[in-house]
Chain A
Amino acid sequence: MTKEADVKGNVKEILIPDIGDFDAVEVIEILVQAGDTIAVEDSLISVESDKATMEIPAPEAGVVKEVKVALGDNVSEGSVLLLLAPVTGAAAEVTDAEPTALVAEPAPDTVPAKPTPTPAPVKTSPTAKIDEVSFSTAYASPAVRKFARELGVDLGRVDGNGRKGRITREDVQAFVKCTLAQGGGGGLDVAPMPEIDFSQWGEVETQALTKINKLTGQFLHRNWVTVPHVTQFDEADITDLEAFRKSMAAEYKDKGIKITPLVFLMKAVVSALKQYPRFNSSLDASGENFILKQYFNVGIAIDTPGGLVVPVVRDVDRKSLVDLAQELGEISIKARDRKLKPADMQGGCITISSLGGIGGTQFTPIVNAPEVAILGVSRHKMQPVWNGTEFEPRLVLPLSLSYDHRVIDGADGARFTSFLSRVLSDTRRLLL
């Protein structure tokens, strides 16, 4: 320990760690304040990207000297989060004992505050879609601003290709063309939703959507509107699978590994993807080609208190059922604790949305574009099944496969679910 460090009270800067491929994420909650004693892995702050919310854990134990971020700040990897006096035995005790007065005063902006709900949007006007603040600072001349107004273009969203990023008339035209080509919600010529004051019929309460709610909503809306969906229903006889799973589950219980039906589904889906590679593809941006993927990553939709998240399990084809079970367990905990990193939610090939634990007979999931298919799984049920001579009680699992009809034909959809059903009915096929 150098002398200088002593003078400074051995205070360390805690930085934001690698949080994946994000430049700036918003601080939505500050969980510690100056004076708090924290342990390793204690959560310090919550940040929210456009994909997920995550908590940043403490890399070491100590006493918080000063919180360097404020609610609403945008932070990125390397941003100074707080000043920490590490607790490292006797030396730390000395430094701690003396300047107690210093730490007694929490900075006023570190009081953990809930994000205030945003007020209800004001009445829609013709310019409602234009962010006036960013419009007023866009790098564009008066004539280009006038042109943008005529076309109803939000200049704040236009990239300038002129000198030093200046927005030209051509940039505005290109933006309009691009927007029109994309179609999107804007192109739908539907009547606006009427604004209704619900309080006229009784007491109401307005709650803000979480950021995840809002973003999920945007993505789902886009996918619902732009992807031509077909949902194929099917059933799988999982009587044997369940018998096998239960025996395995009992075996691995002591090791703390929970073997769920989901891991079998993941394996079965991957074998179906291998059989029908078009299901493991994405359309490219031009809409002229589709890109076939040579890897097998499966997204799992997880319901969390903050909203829907879809972490991705990588290389499912190269992992054993036990590996997958273990990984799935970790992921669910991370998801519920809001500790998923954005990178954990990228790179999926297909998504499985299982509502089996809750109930229901069938549902029509929305394709998680740019993926082209999503498998919905409902609750299995013991049913009488005709085996040719008599009715037999069999455990039947309902499957709902929604797919992008631009890439997948109806016949292929039915083939895919039939194959899946066969594999699930006879897990030995997974070995093939």
Chain B
Amino acid sequence: MSTLIEIKIPDIGDFDSVEVIEILVNVGDTIAEEDSLISVESDKATMEIPAPRAGVVKEILLSLGEQVSQGSPILMLEASDIAADSAPASQGSAPSAPELSAAEPAPAPQADRYNGNVDVSAEVVVLGSGPGGYTAAFRAADLGKKVVLIERYDSIGGVCLNVGCIPSKALLHTAQVINEAAEFGDIGVSFNTPEVDLDKLRGHKDAVVGKLTGGLRQLAKQRKVQIVNGYGRFTSANTIEVAADGNKTVVGFDNAIIAAGSRVTKLPFIPWDDPRVMDSTDALEIQEIPKRLLVVGGGIIGLEMATVYDALGSKVTVVELSPGLIPGADRDVVRPLERRIKKRYENIYLNTKVTAIEPTEAGMLCSFEGPLNGKKGAPENDTFDRVLVAIGRSPNGLLIDADKAGVAVDERGFIAVDKQQRTNVAHIFAIGDVVGQPMLAHKATHEGKVAAQVIAGQKSYFDARTIPSVAYTDPEVAWMGKTEDECKSEGIAYTKGVFPWAASGRSLSLGRDEGMTKLLFGADHRLIGAAMTGPNAGELVAEAVLALEMGADIEDIALSIHPHPTLSETFNFAAEVAEGTCTDIYVPKRVKGKK
């Protein structure tokens, strides 16, 4: 009777890694307890690692020159079973590994060891093909690496391309056209009420997505990036097993980039099996135009979908738990949006919680708990034809067996990384939603490049100073850098310049006057924050990002000639307001010393 056991490096003192300088046994050798197995050398001494028990060497798991540390496997030993071993004999050949060495409980999980064959091997494997993942894969390939890109869905591109940024923008543009056509009635140009063919509209949206994902496949092919479809999970610090339709592909790698993204956060009490309850992915499918739609969550995703369904003709109610819409942005820049949608939408309930959603024949019976139940606030309950739940996204860090690679994941599913996107395991990197907020595609792509470049030996760091945010609502709300609220709470002294779009000829000619551009400057007059509300605000904020990254100050912005008449002028004007040189509005002289 014998048992196959894995012999590991025991506690060798305070050393991270020691080099194997001699292997003293061969496969097939019969060894006694305390026989020396290998010699290792630290910067202090050479020592021999003795066998913890007798047996026959079946396989040697390390090689000369390898760096090992406590817990690293040395060899597989078929133990001559002297001690009473309760393990059933039938398990003899399986590489089950009873821990012989007393491994200390460490904060980081201990990586598993994979002893099987590898189907595909790569220098860099990227887990997830969203904007972060494909960018990392392509950049690594461009830097000469052999890259494998793993994607669980058939279509690459991740949430952003398939069920996020891109399809929502296709629908939002439609919404804008519908709204503008309707508003033109007021200035003497009337269109008939639009007829919406949902199938065709959905087809248009899918075509946009298809073009982009098809383009991505082409880009991958040109770069010889191999795409492996299926659900990937780590099996060791150097292997990922990809499962698809019962088939398993083992991908071996030198370096990995985890780009596993995030998923919709699902509250447990919501009846998800009822088709009338939607997440953002379902909502983009526009199965129907519900008469009354409840949007749970007044953040960017919820309000963007509300914009679409409102334009298509739904009566929209938004319920938000916090005191304001789009938490995170300054209140003054959200206010124009709030004012507009308050008029258009059926109801906006702030400080209000949805406590229950019950499917009934008449619709979804939703119960609310808010400060003003029954009066101006939410009623105790109401029935809607459909409910869209958009309360946030959760990282996928816990769904990929990262612990088997030794990668530490926190209880929420986030993976901590350093400024080079490196996890606690030196050759495994993580990028995008799975490493933390903000969960935005443009953050992920930047991180993806950093990770790929670091793997290729470049000294890249995530040194960007701001990540802009945009809500593609109507009007759009965009901001970057510090918000005024943050300046106040962090005690940062700032100068503010605000230009109202009511004084912008371009904005007025669009039939809109509610927008604003707000710039914040630090004590050294350099731009530290910007926010815009109004049509195309999302495009305008890009200039502010460039200004901040380049360290532009009030004068730099005020002295740069902007084309007239454009919305971009408001960026220039806001700096002039801060400087006190703006002639397009009248600003009473600022009191000296007042912020």
Contacts and interface: CB of A to CB of B under 8 A. Distances in A.
Interface of A: 125, 127, 132, 135-136, 139-142, 145-146, 149-150, 152, 164, 166, 191, 194, 196-197, 200
B419 interface: yes
Contacts of A125: 418
A140 B551 CA distance: 7
A146 B526 CA distance: 20
Given A125-B418, A139-B526, A141-B549, A152 B459 contact: yes
A149 B550 contact: no
Interface stretch (B122-130, B246-254, B461-469, B535-543): B461-469
A81 to B, nearest CB: 22
Given A127-B419, A197-B14, 5 more contacts: A125-B418, A139-B551, A142-B463, A145-B463, A146-B463
Contacts of A152: 459
Contacts of B197: none
B166 to A, nearest CB: 27
Among B458, B460, B524, B551: residue with most chain A CB under 10 A: B551
A200 B13 CA distance: 9
A142 B464 contact: yes
Contacts of A150: 458-459
Contact of B460 (A149, A166, A191): A149
Interface of B: 13-14, 43, 418-419, 458-461, 463-465, 524, 526, 549-551, 553
Given A141-B551, A142-B464, A191-B43, A196 B419 contact: no
Contacts of A127: 419, 461
B595 to A, nearest CB: 20
Contacts of A194: 14, 43
Nearest to A139: B551
29 contacts: A125-B418, A127-B419, A127-B461, A132-B419, A136-B463, A136-B465, A139-B524, A139-B526, A139-B551, A140-B551, A141-B549, A141-B550, A142-B463, A142-B549, A142-B550, A145-B461, A146-B460, A146-B463, A149-B459, A149-B460, A149-B461, A150-B459, A152-B459, A191-B43, A194-B14, A194-B43, A197-B14, A200-B13, A200-B14
B468 to A, nearest CB: 14
Contacts of A145: 461, 463
Nearest to A125: B418
Contacts of A139: 524, 526, 551
For the complex of A and B, 9 pairs with smallest distance between CB atoms: A145-B463, A150-B459, A149-B459, A149-B461, A139-B551, A141-B550, A142-B549, A197-B14, A196-B14
Q: Which of A125, A136, A142, A191 has the most CB of B within 10 A?
A: A142
A194 B43 CA distance: 9
A247 B14 CA distance: 62
A132 B465 CA distance: 12
Contacts of A149: 459-461, 463
Which of B419, B526, B553 neighbours the largest number of chain A CB atoms within 10 Å of its CB? B419
Contacts of B419: 127, 132
A149 B464 CA distance: 13
B569 to A, nearest CB: 25
Contacts of B458: 150
Overall SS of chain A's interface: loop
Contacts of A141: 549-551
Nearest to B551: A139
Nearest to A142: B549
A126 to B, nearest CB: 8
B459 A166 contact: no
A145 B450 CA distance: 13
B553 A164 contact: yes
A164 B524 CA distance: 10
Looking at B418, B458, B459, B553, the one whose CB has the most chain A CB atoms below 10 A away is B459
A200 B550 CA distance: 50
Contacts of A191: 43
A127 B463 CA distance: 13
Nearest to B44: A194
Nearest to B464: A142
A383 B388 CA distance: 99
A140 B461 CA distance: 15
Contacts of A164: 553
B324 to A, nearest CB: 29
B508 to A, nearest CB: 36
B70 to A, nearest CB: 13
A141 B549 CA distance: 6
Contacts of B461: 127, 145, 149
Nearest to A160: B551
A172 to B, nearest CB: 13
Contacts of B551: 139-141, 166
Nearest to A136: B465
Nearest to A147: B459
Contacts of A146: 460, 463
Nearest to B522: A137
A196 B524 CA distance: 44
Contacts of B418: 125
Contacts of A142: 463-464, 549-550
A128 to B, nearest CB: 11
Nearest to B463: A145
A191 B42 CA distance: 13
A45 to B, nearest CB: 23
A197 B104 CA distance: 15
Nearest to B460: A149
A251 to B, nearest CB: 62
Contacts of A136: 463, 465
A194 B16 CA distance: 10
A141 B547 CA distance: 10
Contacts of A135: 463
Nearest to A123: B16
A146 B464 CA distance: 10
Contacts of B465: 136
A141 B418 CA distance: 21
Nearest to A164: B553
A145 B465 CA distance: 11
B491 to A, nearest CB: 14
A146 B458 CA distance: 10
A145 B419 CA distance: 13
A142 B464 CA distance: 7
A241 B484 CA distance: 75
Nearest to B418: A125
A173 to B, nearest CB: 16
B523 to A, nearest CB: 11
A72 to B, nearest CB: 15
Nearest to A135: B463
Q: Which of B43, B458, B463: most chain A CB closer than 10 A?
A: B463
